[in-house]
């Protein structure tokens, strides 16, 4: 089984330096792209690979790049941004890639920037990833020294500068337009779309924002081709995915596996199954803003299409396990509290609705909820559903709530009937 993204990552040793990474094939894709391929060829290649964004939404990467105008009036400044803000609760995959192999990301960014003809690129990294930031900054210096960044890269006449911006908190800054505002030094409020960043993004210029894991794929696809990429997956969606599991399993962690690996294999084999004395009650498959799956979905193949069919989203591919000793209402309440706290406050349904939902869930835990409250919660999942808010934050928050109400309705009702949380000893 091939594991292109992680094969050179070894825990308990520092990441490969540039020269060592080159000895095992690093930067080969970049040489090929810049020397042998025109920007348009790279975009077609990525399109034909069908690579879908690993940041959560699964948007086709080649298509995103192709929306960037070729000729920009008034100078040709375009931007590429690596989204390394990773703040989705339960998600820890980009940290692994950043700390484990910074040159993979940098070489991917050079190719991506060249493909859209960006002259400047930024890595927007989460403040908490201090170790990753140091590693990335050192690797960038190495890349400048090697002549892979700066002016006239590999003698091609192509220039690229790569900068790091360390964030100052707020989950919403991971949303690409809020990220762009934050990078401009402003409050991290999302922007109206359209215009999409591809036409008007950072400082009003065409901009592509891609997730770290997405960008790490680029050198491998350039080097090995689209067909190779497709064949890596079980279900034809292409590639491998870094899947992760946290919660009460025997071996929490992350693993690079073919796209389409089943939920059962990931949890039972790789994560070692549930800890003694715990049973699996639900799974949040791809970070807090995805719908629950249950025992009944264990044979779901973890790719974008199959998880959608199962009623959820692949999201970030890092799962959180709800076990039978944890109260599902408390579990959902915790996530809603996060979303309420992290709401940027710009639009009313989210700013007012999330704290409202939070209070109702609190009343369930305190044993003061009434039967009508279930109806109010259901109404809120519609009210803050897709299309009713300014960005995808609140609809994301509603995903675990709406599916939680569906799968754990009895548990909600028990809180009302027994006037206390059945999971808490009185």
Partner 1 sequence: MLSTKEKEEIYEETRLYPYPAAACIDALKIVQHHRGWISDEAIEEIASELDMSVEDVDSVATFYTRIYRKPVGRNVILVCDSISCMVMGYESMYKHISDKLSVHFGETTPDGRFTLLPISCLGDCDHAPSLMINDDLHNNLTINSIDEILEKYQ
Ligand X SMILES: Cc1cc2nc3c(=O)[nH]c(=O)nc-3n(C[C@H](O)[C@H](O)[C@H](O)COP(=O)(O)O)c2cc1C
Interacting residues toward ligand SF4 by CB under 6 A: 172, 190, 343-347, 350-351, 389-391, 393-394
Report the alpha-carbon distance of residue 45 to residue 415 in Å, rounded: 54
The long-range contacts involving 34-37, CB below 8 angstroms and separated by at least 24 positions, are 34/110, 34/111, 34/114, 34/153, 34/154, 34/156, 34/158, 35/154, 35/156, 37/222
Tell me whether residue 328 or residue 396 sits nearer to ligand X (CB atom). 396
Candidate residues 94, 303, 373, 411; the one interacting with partner 1 per rule CB under 8 A: 94
Q: Which does 92 bind (CB under 5 to 8 A by kind): partner 1, ligand SF4, ligand X, none?
A: partner 1
Beta-sheet strand order (sheet of 280-284): 253-258, 240-246, 318-323, 280-284
Candidate residues 265, 323, 324, 352; the one interacting with partner 1 per rule CB under 8 A: 323
Shortest reach from residue 331's CB to partner 1, in Å: 7
Shortest reach from residue 205's CB to partner 1, in Å: 9
CA distances, 302 to each of 157, 171, 297 (Å): 42, 25, 10
Shortest reach from residue 208's CB to ligand X, in Å: 9
Q: What angle do the packed helices 348-366 and 371-383 form, to 10 degrees? A: 160
Residues 6 or more apart in contact with residue 310 via CB below 8 angstroms? 293, 297, 300
Owner of token pair 């034809």:
236
Tell me whether residue 105 or residue 249 sits nearer to ligand X (CB atom). 105
Candidate residues 127, 158, 196, 356; the one interacting with partner 1 per rule CB under 8 A: 127
Does residue 313 bind partner 1 (CB under 8 A)? no
275 backbone dihedrals φ, ψ, rounded to 5°? -65, 155
308 backbone dihedrals φ, ψ, rounded to 5°? -60, -45
Does residue 343 bind partner 1 (CB under 8 A)? no
> For residue 367, how many other CB atoms are within 10 A of its CB?
16
Does residue 48 bind partner 1 (CB under 8 A)? no
Judged by the rule CB under 6 A, the positions of this chain that interact with ligand X are 53-57, 59, 61, 83, 85-88, 171-172, 174-176, 209-211, 214, 391-393, 396
Q: Which does 57 bind (CB under 5 to 8 A by kind): ligand SF4, ligand X, partner 1, none?
A: ligand X
Tell me whether residue 110 or residue 350 sits nearer to ligand SF4 (CB atom). 350
Report the alpha-carbon distance of residue 22 to residue 10 in Å, rounded: 16
Sign of the Cα torsion 192, 195, 198, 202 reads negative
Report the alpha-carbon distance of residue 345 to residue 34 in Å, rounded: 44
Tell me whether residue 18 or residue 216 sits nearer to ligand X (CB atom). 216
CA-nearest of 77, 104, 101 to 160 is 77
Q: Binding string to partner 1 for residues 254 to 293, with x set by CB under 8 A, is what?
A: x-----------------------------x---x-----
Name the segment binding partner 1 (CB under 8 A); options: 38-46, 92-100, 108-116, 356-364.
92-100
Owner of token pair 């080969």:
28
As a whole number of Å, the end-to-end CA separation of the chain is 51
Tell me whether residue 63 or residue 146 sits nearer to ligand X (CB atom). 63
Q: Which does 394 bind (CB under 5 to 8 A by kind): ligand X, partner 1, ligand SF4, none?
A: ligand SF4
Q: Which does 288 bind (CB under 5 to 8 A by kind): ligand SF4, partner 1, ligand X, none?
A: partner 1
Tell me whether residue 297 or residue 393 sits nearer to ligand SF4 (CB atom). 393
Shortest reach from residue 179's CB to partner 1, in Å: 12
Residues 6 or more apart in contact with residue 311 via CB below 8 angstroms? 291, 293, 297, 403
Report the alpha-carbon distance of residue 5 to residue 105 in Å, rounded: 10
Q: Which does 343 bind (CB under 5 to 8 A by kind): ligand SF4, partner 1, ligand X, none?
A: ligand SF4
Does residue 90 bind partner 1 (CB under 8 A)? yes
Does residue 401 bind partner 1 (CB under 8 A)? no
Shortest reach from residue 351's CB to ligand SF4, in Å: 5
Report the alpha-carbon distance of residue 190 to residue 346 in Å, rounded: 8
β-strands 318-323, 280-284 pairing: antiparallel
β-strands 253-258, 280-284 pairing: unpaired
In terms of DSSP H, where are the helices of 284-408?
Answer: 304-309, 328-342, 348-366, 371-383, 393-407
Does residue 89 bind partner 1 (CB under 8 A)? yes
Shortest reach from residue 127's CB to partner 1, in Å: 5
Shortest reach from residue 384's CB to partner 1, in Å: 19
Residues interacting with partner 1, by CB under 8 A?
A: 86-92, 94-95, 122, 126-131, 163, 165-171, 182-188, 203, 244-248, 252-254, 284, 288, 318, 320-323, 326, 330-331, 334-335, 338, 341-342
């Amino acid at each position: 089984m091939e594991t292109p993204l992680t094969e050179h990552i070894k825990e308990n040793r520092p990441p490969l330096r540039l020269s060592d990474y080159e000895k095992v094939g690093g930067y080969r894709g970049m040489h090929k792209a810049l020397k042998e391929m025109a920007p348009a060829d790279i975009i077609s290649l990525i399109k034909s690979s069908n690579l879908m964004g690993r940041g959560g939404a699964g948007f086709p990467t080649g298509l995103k790049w192709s929306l960037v105008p070729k000729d920009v009036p008034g100078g040709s400044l375009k931007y590429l941004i690596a989204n390394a803000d990773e703040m989705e609760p339960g998600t820890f995959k980009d940290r692994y890639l950043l700390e484990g192999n910074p040159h993979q990301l940098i070489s991917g960014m050079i190719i991506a920037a060249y493909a859209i003809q960006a002259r400047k690129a930024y890595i927007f990294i989460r403040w908490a990833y201090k170790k990753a930031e140091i590693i990335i900054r050192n690797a960038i210096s190495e890349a400048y020294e090697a002549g892979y960044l700066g002016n006239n890269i590999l003698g091609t006449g192509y220039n690229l500068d790569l900068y790091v911006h360390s964030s100052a908190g707020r989950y919403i800054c991971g949303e690409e337009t809020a990220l762009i505002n934050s990078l401009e030094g402003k409050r991290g409020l999302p922007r109206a779309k359209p215009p999409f960043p591809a036409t008007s993004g950072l400082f009003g210029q065409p901009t592509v924002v891609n997730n770290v894991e997405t960008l790490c794929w680029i050198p491998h696809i350039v080097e090995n081709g689209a067909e190779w990429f497709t064949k890596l997956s079980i279900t034809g969606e292409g590639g491998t995915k870094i899947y992760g599991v946290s919660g009460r399993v025997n071996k929490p962690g992350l693993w690079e596996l073919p796209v389409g690996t089943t939920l059962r294999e990931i949890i039972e084999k790789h994560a070692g199954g549930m800890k003694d004395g715990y049973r699996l009650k639900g799974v949040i498959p791809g970070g807090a803003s995805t719908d629950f799956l249950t025992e009944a979905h264990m044979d779901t193949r973890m790719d974008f299409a199959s998880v959608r069919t199962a009623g959820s989203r692949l999201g970030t591919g890092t799962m959180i396990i709800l076990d039978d000793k944890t109260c599902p209402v408390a579990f959902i309440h915790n996530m809603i509290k996060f979303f309420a706290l992290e709401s940027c406050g710009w639009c009313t349904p989210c700013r007012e609705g999330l704290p409202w939902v939070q209070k109702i869930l609190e009343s369930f835990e305190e044993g003061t909820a009434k039967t009508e409250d279930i109806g109010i919660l259901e109404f809120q999942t519609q009210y803050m559903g897709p299309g009713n808010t300014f960005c995808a934050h609140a609809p994301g928050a509603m995903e675990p709530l709406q599916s939680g109400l569906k799968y754990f309705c009895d548990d909600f009702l028990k809180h009302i009937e027994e006037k206390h949380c059945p999971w808490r000893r009185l």
